[in-house]
A = this chain, B = another copy of it.
C-alpha cells in the first residue's frame, strides 16, 4: 500500500510538469550527434557480439563469450557495477558441434538443414532411407510400429517456397508513419489476432500437442533422424527449438529444420516412389554445469544528490537463435545500447540520474531475462506487489526490431509521455525519426517493465529485411547490419537517455496495471 501511495504522488507530480522544460540542450545534442554519427564504434561492437562470439542461444558458450566481452568493454569504458547478473533458473545450454546431412540416393545432394535447438545429435555418422509418415491422429501411428528404427522420417508438408514479386527489404513510407501517429489508444483488454483463446491459437495448440505425441512415439521407435520443412526459401532457413531447454525435458529424436527446396525435393521423390537415402552426422552438446540465466548490467552513476537514486534504463536482448550469429536479432539492439553508453562517456556526460544498461538473455524463450530482472528488482506482475526500486525507474528504453534506423517511438499507451518524446525527437527530424504513436508494440523486453508499471518503451524501426530474411534465420549475419541505420539509432537513443536523466521529473506513468495471475 505504501508503495502504491508514493506511486500516485509521483504520477501527479510527473503529469503536472509533462509539458515543461523538455527542449533538448542544443549543445549536448550536437556533441552526441558528432560522436554517434562521426566517431561511431557500433560496427566494431557488433563484430564482437556476432562474428567473434558466434551464435548466442540462451545458456550457450557463445552467449557467455558475448556477455563476458560486453562486461569487460563496459568496464574499459569506465562504467561501474558492470557484471553478469543471475536472474534465476533457465535450463540447459546447447550448441551445434557438427552438422552434416546429405541425400545419397537417387543421387548425391548435400542439404541445407539446421538442427532444431535442444535436440540431440545422431551419435556419429548414420545412413537411413526416408519414410514418409502420415499421421493426422495418434492411432494413424499404429501402422508404423516397429518399422522406423534407424529410418529418416519426413511428414507430408505443403510447399513453403513461394515466388515473390515483393522486395525483401522495406522502409516505412510517410503514409505508414502518419497512420501510426494517428493511431487511437488500444483498449487494455484488446484481443490480439492469434492471441490466447483465438481460433488460430487453439488450432496451433492442437497441432503442437499432436506433434509432441508423435515425437514421443518416434523417439520410442528409435528413428535415426527427423527432417522437417523450415520456413524460408533460396537457402534461408528459419529456426526454432525441437525440445525444451528445461533440465527435466523429455528425450526427443534428432531433428533438422530443412530448407524448403531440399525438403520438397525429397518429398516429391518419395511420393513418386523413389528410394531416397540420407547420410548424416550431427553432434550437439548440452551444458548443465550452470542452469542459471544471466543478464549483463552496467552503470554510469548519477551525480545529482536528490536524483542519483533514480535510474534511466536502456537495453535489449543479447541472446539469439543458433543457426547464425543473431546480428539483427538482436546484436543490433545490443550494440546500439552499448554504443549509447560509450557515446555518453565519450562526451564526458555526468548525468543527474543513474544510467543503467541491461542486456537480457532468454528473450527468445519468453522474455525470461527481463522478467526475472523485473521480478527481482521491481515486483511481481501476478500480484502487483511492488518493491521500492519500482518507483525509482524513470523509463526503460528497448531496441529489438532489427538493424533499421529509428523512425520514432511507441508510447505503449502512456499518453503523458507523448509531448515529451515529441520535443526530444525535434532535433532528429533530419534523420527521419519524428513519429510518436500511442500504440503498443509487444513481444520483447520492454513488456516486462510495462507489466509492473515501469514506463517501458520501444522505438519504431524501419523493417529492412528483418521479417523476410534475417529474424531467427541462418542468414542473420553481420552482413545484414546497416551501418548508417545503427549509427542513427545510437545517436537518438543517447539523446533520449541524456534528456531522461536530466529532466527534473521522471517520465509520467500510466495507471498501474491489474495483477495478471495467469502470466507465466
Interface residues of A (CB under 8 A from B): 47, 51-55, 61-62, 95-100, 102, 106-110, 112, 159, 161, 163-171, 233-237, 259-261, 264-265, 268-269, 272, 274, 324-325, 464-465, 469, 474-475, 477-480, 482
Contact = CB atoms under 8 A, between A and B. Distances in A.
A130 to B, nearest CB: 13
Contacts of A272: 47, 51-52
Those 3 A-B pairs whose CB atoms lie nearest each other, nearest first? A235-B235, A54-B107, A161-B479
A102 to B, nearest CB: 7
B465 A163 contact: yes
B479 A159 contact: yes
Contacts of A264: 477-479
A272 B48 CA distance: 10
Contacts of A98: 102, 108, 110
Given A98-B102, A265-B477, A268-B478, 10 more contacts: A52-B274, A54-B109, A55-B107, A61-B107, A97-B108, A98-B108, A161-B480, A163-B465, A165-B167, A235-B235
A169 to B, nearest CB: 5
Contacts of A163: 169, 464-465, 480, 482
A361 B477 CA distance: 38
Contact of A261 (B53, B107, B170, B479): B479
Binding site secondary structure of chain A = loop
Most chain B CB neighbours (cut-off 10 Å) among A53, A95, A163, A168: A163
B106 A54 contact: yes
Nearest to A113: B110
A33 B272 CA distance: 28
A275 to B, nearest CB: 12
B171 A261 contact: no
Contacts of A100: 100, 102, 110
7 contacts: A52-B269, A53-B107, A62-B107, A112-B112, A163-B465, A163-B482, A168-B168
Number of chain copies forming the complex:
2
A475 to B, nearest CB: 5
A386 to B, nearest CB: 42
A44 B167 CA distance: 30
Contact of A268 (B51, B102, B168, B237): B51
B475 A235 contact: yes
Contacts of A261: 324, 475, 477, 479
A161 B169 CA distance: 13
A283 to B, nearest CB: 9
A51 B273 CA distance: 12
Contacts of A99: 102, 108, 110
A458 to B, nearest CB: 22
Contact of A235 (B47, B112, B167): B112
A274 B272 CA distance: 48
A435 B95 CA distance: 56
B106 A52 contact: yes
A54 to B, nearest CB: 4
A471 B102 CA distance: 23
Nearest to A107: B54
A14 to B, nearest CB: 41
Given A97-B108, A102-B98, A170 B159 contact: no
A469 B52 CA distance: 29
A36 B107 CA distance: 31
A4 B274 CA distance: 54
Nearest to A269: B51
A149 to B, nearest CB: 26
A168 B170 CA distance: 13
Nearest to A235: B235
Contacts of A112: 112, 235
A159 B477 CA distance: 13
Contacts of A167: 164-167
A73 to B, nearest CB: 15
A259 B233 contact: no
Contacts of A164: 167-169, 465
A100 B112 CA distance: 11
A474 B109 CA distance: 10
Contacts of A469: 234
Nearest to A285: B108
B161 A165 contact: no
Contacts of A170: 165
A96 B166 CA distance: 34
Nearest to A479: B161
A264 B475 CA distance: 13
Contacts of A62: 107
Contacts of A102: 98-100
A261 B470 CA distance: 12
